Amino acid sequence: MLVFPNAKLNLGLYVTAVRPDGFRNLESVFVPLPWADALEVLPAAGPETTLSLTGIPVPGDPATNLCRRAYELLRADFELPPVQMHLHKVVPIGAGLGGGSADAAFALKALNDLFALHLPAETLEGYARRLGSDCAFFIQNKPVFAYEKGDVFENISLDLTGTACKVVYPGLHISTAEAYSRVTPRAPRHELRQALAQPLETWRDTVSNDFEDALTPFYPMLGEIKQALYAAGATYASLSGSGSAVYGLFPGQEQPPQLELPKEYLVWDGRL
Ligand SMILES: C[C@@](CO)(OP(=O)(O)O)[C@H](O)COP(=O)(O)OP(=O)(O)OC[C@H]1O[C@@H](n2ccc(N)nc2=O)[C@H](O)[C@@H]1O
Ligand SMILES: Nc1ncnc2c1ncn2[C@@H]1O[C@H](COP(=O)(O)OP(=O)(O)O)[C@@H](O)[C@H]1O
């Protein structure tokens, strides 16, 4: 079975409180971004479960790769045969695009389908929450208002389908834990669902990401990319999640414009 774990963008992100478990409560809107890895999951030819990797190198021991952890989590509850998995990594890591979380969630969905476990979305979301705060979003993979740890969702009627978008990753791996440690929780600046219900032209003044304010003084390139996106005609631009990817939205355009950027930056151009 071949699946394509896609990334996500955060439209606005407020870090609102430290929780008793040490994690933070947040408020954000998550939308799928069609920049994707490729993940193949097959019954193993031999007795061992294996994971092979190509594409962007994934830091850490492959035994702790989130695809592998997704398999082990289900195997603890179901009689799964060994599998052979192959992940071709395309989405940059430590980018605020949720790429690792997507791999984990798509691995759960692929195993559910491959072995006809018939687990409903809510059950898969429960497993996904155990692998990471962002993971559960990718089970249903549709725009949602996310709160608590970013793993509880409310449906929203926001349709950005077809909107031209440019995502710029400056090659800077910001760990999520480091990013959270730099943010002081505070009350949301605006009611996010109300702000996003207004025309996209107004978002620049009302929709913000607390990580952007906290991280830009340490990484000025984040502010420079955002300014370049606005100078190129973006209607809205922001850091995604805890960074370091910055995106611009160009509604009404066929494709986002070309930008002069350092050669080492990774850029995704497309439509949502
Ligand atoms: C910031 C966000 C916003 O969408 O995305 P990314 O920038 O990573 O894509 C998410 O909250 C990232 O979720 P995820 O990447 O799954 O984080 P986890 O693996 O659960 O946690 C990594 C670390 O981040 C911190 N953490 C994470 C989530 C949360 N609600 N509060 C936290 O304090 C904790 O220090 C934790 O040890
Ligand atoms: N399949 C995977 N893809 C990406 N990262 C993975 C994967 N499996 C485990 N990881 C670990 O997760 C970390 C990425 O997490 P994070 O900084 O939250 O990035 P992201 O922006 O992709 O959510 C990496 O440092 C890596 O060690």
Identify whether residues 115 and 28 lie together within a single domain. Answer: yes
Give the number of the ligand closest to the Cα of residue 99.
2
Q: Which domain holds residue 99?
A: 2-155
DSSP code for 91:
S
Estimate to the nearest angstrom the gap between the alpha carbon of 1 and the chain centroid. Answer: 22
Asked if residue 266 and residue 146 are part of one domain, the reply reads no
Q: How far is the CA of 177 from the centre of ligand 1 (A)?
A: 7
Is the CB of 65 inside a 6 Å radius of any atom of ligand 2? Answer: yes
> 176 and 146, same structural domain?
no
37 in active site: no
Cβ of 135 closer than 6 Å to ligand 2, yes or no, is no
Nearest residue CA, atom 9 of ligand 2? 65
Is the domain of 77 the same as that of 129? yes
Q: Is the minimum distance from the CB of 69 to ligand 1 under 6 angstroms?
A: no
Substitution site in 11, 14, 133, 183 for ligand 1 pocket (most atoms within 8 Å of beta carbon): 133
- At 57, give phi and psi (nearest 5°): -60, 135
Same domain, 13 and 79: yes
Q: What is the DSSP string of 104-169?
A: HHHHHHHHHHHTT----HHHHHHHHHTT-TTTTHHHH-S-EEEETTTTEEEE-----TT-EEEEEE
Q: Hey, whose CA ends up nearest to atom 12 of ligand 2?
A: 100
Would the annotation count 94 as a binding residue? yes
DSSP structural state of residue 59? P
Same domain, 95 and 184: no
State which of 105, 131, 155 marks the end of a domain: 155
Q: Are residues 56 and 143 in the same domain?
A: yes
Question: In terms of domains, do 38 and 57 share one?
Answer: yes
Over 90: is that where the pLDDT of 189 sits? no
Question: What mean pLDDT, rounded, does the chain reach?
Answer: 97
Average pLDDT over every residue of 179-204: 95
CATH number at residue 109: 3.30.230.10
Whether 130 has a pLDDT exceeding 90, the answer reads: yes
Give the domain-ending residue among 103, 137, 155: 155
What are the backbone angles phi and psi of residue 75, rounded to the nearest 5°?
Answer: -65, -25
Same-domain status, 53 and 118: yes
**To which H or E segment does residue 95 belong?**
none
Q: How many CB atoms lie within 10 A of CB 145?
A: 19
pLDDT value of residue 91: 98
DSSP letter assigned to residue 80: P
What CATH number did the domain enclosing 259 receive?
Answer: 3.30.70.890
Question: Which ipTM was obtained for this model?
Answer: 0.96
Please confirm, yes or no, whether 8 is among the known catalytic residues. Answer: yes
Whether the CB of 45 sits within 6 Å of ligand 1: no
**Domain final position from 94, 129, 155:** 155
- What's the pLDDT tens digit per position in 11-66? 999 999 999 999 999 999 999 999 999 999 999 999 999 999 999 999 999 899 99
Using CA positions, which residue lies closest to atom 18 of ligand 2?
176
User: What is the model's pTM?
Assistant: 0.97
Spot the catalytic one: 37, 103, 134, 210: 134
Kindly report, residue by residue over 134-154, the tens digit of the pLDDT: 999 999 999 999 999 999 999
Q: How far apart are CA 247 and CA 68, in angstroms?
A: 30
Same domain, 182 and 254: yes
- Residue 69: per-residue pLDDT: 98
Number of domains into which the chain is organized:
2
The mean pLDDT value for 231-250 works out to 97
* Nearest to 199, CA basis, from 146, 236, 238: 236
Say whether 116 counts as a known binding-site residue: no
In ligand 1, the atom with minimum distance to the C-alpha of 13 is 3
Among 134, 161, 130, 157, residue whose Cα is nearest residue 144: 157
pLDDT tens by residue, 78-111: 999 999 999 999 999 999 999 999 999 999 999 9
- Minimum CA distance residue for ligand 2 atom 1: 100
Q: Which of 8, 89, 166, 226 is catalytic?
A: 8
